Structure formats: structure tokens, C-alpha cells
Amino acid sequence: MRPSQPPIARNAARLGIALVLVLLGCSDAVSYWQVQRATKILEPAEAPLAFAILGEYASPGAPLAAQVAALGDDRFRAVFYRGGLPGAGWDGSATSSSDGAWDGSETHFTAPRPAASVTSASAGGGEIRVALDTGESLILPRLQRESPTLGAPPPPGAILLFDGVGASGLEEIDGRVDDRGLLVEGATTRRSFGSFRLHVEFRTPFVAQLDGQGRGNSGIYLQGRYEIQILDSFGLPAAPRGAGSLYDQRAPDVNMSFPPLSWQTYDIDFTAARFDDAGHRVAPARVGVVHNGVRIHDDVAIDGPTGHGEAEGPDPAPILFQDHWHPVRFRNLWVLPR
């Protein structure tokens, strides 16, 4: 799907893709109509009271940390990480999860699965209280992490694609802004690029009723060919179609997703594929990605176009910010050609 398509053609493509997915019985397919019917929260102030349960919980020196993700209908899942949060102390071992329901003031979680040192947990009042099988009790405060590259200014020689202050910042990008001055999904750069360094700040909506590909789905198409997935994958394992993935080719080394409605960053180093005079590829494209300050891809080779990407070729091409029916927003975008 090309974000640069005219609205009529784009809508036809949406319907066609949705129909194909239904006919194929794709297990994680989410139709255009499902997405349109779902309630999408774009600002924390618009969220229901239960949204205060969602988030990350950690304390320095504590033996574990937690992420609490929404499941819809005031239900939640707590995921426990040994040593700390992903990218901030987690030892990479298997996680444990536990489901619970909000009773109007807090959420009580059932015994975690698989078996873990946690015997019970409840969240409310800005903290999660955890009982361990050792008899120890933990109180983990709710916190809001922020990417260390949030607000990063463009370095010398970089091209500011969108300054985040409204329509006045659209000289370098073909797109539109919403009533808050944020760039709407479906934009494309006016210039074409070969190799480059790209800074992206994005925010996914809060969509509790859907899961998988139904939550805040978008992507960064490097040269219109290779997609770095954008998705609300908060509280999930790293996956080949999850947030930060090189779509359908490679899962990120760690899922560094923050909760929905958080501003997040991708810092992408892209090296274009090389071709000989006969048009044969002699070296694949390569990419490195830092998600919210943590490296999730380290100069990995890209095995051809991903998803709906354009065919490879020696010519530079625009960067696309995918329109996949979901209200994903962008700000502070810049690119440094190499």
C-alpha cells in the first residue's frame, strides 16, 4: 500500500487488501471495517479512568519489573520481567504474565503464567503491589520512560522534513496535519534518498478493543521498499510483525515499545543496496535501528522488499510514512543523507 496514493485509489486498495486477507483466512488480519469501528483514543486526557492502570512499573534494585497492557473491556495483562524493564535491566529470561480486571479503583491479577516467583499482584493508585513466593512484598511505582533521543535536533547537513508545528513545516514532505499540528500517517518525502540517517518521533493511539495488527499500525518505508514496522506492541514479545521489526523478515532484538499515547523514537541508519552496471544487485541494503534509545537492529542485511514495498533498484527513492487505516501521528522528522 502506497501512502502517497490519492484518497480514492488508497481507499480502493484498503478494501482490496482487506478482502484478500479475509479470503486467505490470515490469522492476524484486521479488516478496514474493524479498525474504523474501534474506539481510538488520541490523547491521554480523552482516555477512560482505567487507562491509569496501563503502563510500566519498576523500582531501582527490585528483582522484577512489570508492564501492564490493556485487553479491552477494562481487562488488563501484567507481564513481569526479571531484573528490570526491557532495555533497563531485564535479563532477557522468560517472562510471566497474569490477567486481571479493573473493579473501578484497581486491578487484581490472577496467578501468573507460566509459574514464576510472583504469587499475586494488584495495580492501582499509581503502583503495583506484588507478593513473591519467598514471602517478600514489592511495591513498584508507575513510571513514564522517555526516549533519550526525543526532541533531537537535526545535525549539520540534515534536512528537516517536519518540524512539528503545523502546516508551515510541510515544505519537504507531502502530507497533511491534524488540528493539533501533528503529521498524519500517509505522508511521503518530496525528495528521493539513497543512504541516510533518519530520526522519527511517533505516537500510536490507544485502541483497547483490537489486538495484534489492529493496534496503531503504520510503518516507515525506507526508499518505499523496506518497512520498519510501527505498531502498539506494548507488553508483547518481540516479533517479526511487531513494533520495530523489519517487517516479516526480522524481529527486533528486544521489544522497546512504550505504552500507547507515549511519544517514541526510531533512529535509523540505512545503507542503500548496490547494483552493477547491468542492474544486478551486488550488495543488499542494510539497516540499523535504535528504538527509544536502545539498539534493536545492528547493521542487518535486508533480504529484498518487505510487505507492500516497491521493487529494488539502483535509484534513490522517497521515504514513506505508511497509511494503514490507523491514526498514527508524527513530529520532529529529519534525515541526514549519506
Sole residue written with cell 503495583: 128
Instruction: Check whether residue 175 and residue 315 sit in a common domain.
Output: yes
Interatomic CA distance for residues 76 and 48, integer angstroms: 14
Residue 64: name the closest of 122, 124, 137, 113 by CA: 137
* Mean pLDDT calculated for residue range 144-164: 94
Confidence check: pLDDT of 43 > 80: yes
> If pLDDT is split at 50, 70 and 90, which confidence band does 7 have?
very low
* CATH code where residue 274 lies: 2.60.120.560
Confidence check: pLDDT of 277 > 70: yes
Instruction: Check whether residue 130 and residue 175 sit in a common domain.
Output: no
C-alpha cell at 224: 518505499
Mean pLDDT score across all residues of the chain? 87
pLDDT computed for residue 11 by the predictor: 40
Domains contained in the chain, number:
2
Do 75 and 208 form a contact (C-beta atoms < 8 A)?
Answer: no
Instruction: Name the residue with higher pLDDT: 155 or 33.
Output: 155
pLDDT computed for residue 15 by the predictor: 37
Do 74 and 58 form a contact (C-beta atoms < 8 A)?
Answer: no
Interatomic CA distance for residues 58 and 22, integer angstroms: 41
Q: What are the beta bridge partners of residue 78?
A: 68, 98
Of 143, 174, 194, the domain-final residue: 143
Give me the domain span that covers residue 238.
Answer: 159-337
Provide the pairing of β-strand 329-337 with 226-230.
Answer: unpaired
Assess if residue 12 is contained within a domain: no
Question: How many helices (H) does the chain have, and how many strands (E)?
Answer: 2, 22
C-alpha cell at 259: 505504552
> If pLDDT is split at 50, 70 and 90, which confidence band does 110 have?
confident
Confidence check: pLDDT of 9 > 90: no
Interatomic CA distance for residues 26 and 70, integer angstroms: 23
Residue 170: name the closest of 194, 188, 196 by CA: 188
> If pLDDT is split at 50, 70 and 90, which confidence band does 1 have?
very low
pLDDT computed for residue 115 by the predictor: 55
Instruction: Check whether residue 92 and residue 186 sit in a common domain.
Output: no
Confidence check: pLDDT of 157 > 50: yes
Sorted by sequence, the CB contacts under 8 Å of residue 266 that are 6+ apart come out as 198, 199, 200, 202, 220, 228, 244, 289, 290, 291
Of 89, 119, 143, the domain-final residue: 143
Instruction: Check whether residue 126 and residue 167 sit in a common domain.
Output: no
* Mean pLDDT calculated for residue range 46-66: 93
Kindly report, residue by residue over 284-299, the tens digit of the pLDDT: 999 999 999 999 999 9
**What is the value of pTM for the model shown?**
0.89
Q: Is 170 helix (H, G, I), strand (E, B) or coil?
A: coil
Outline where DSSP puts E strands in 104-158.
107-109, 118-124, 127-132, 137-143
* CATH code where residue 134 lies: 2.40.128.50
168: DSSP letter: G
Confidence check: pLDDT of 199 > 90: yes
pLDDT computed for residue 25 by the predictor: 41
**Which range, of 98-107, 140-149, 262-271, averages the lowest pLDDT?**
98-107
In terms of C-beta distances under 8 Å and separation of at least 24 residues, what long-range contacts does 40-45 make, across chains too? 40/205, 40/206, 40/207, 40/326, 40/327, 41/205, 41/206, 41/207, 41/261, 42/205, 42/206, 42/261, 42/327, 42/329, 43/261, 44/261
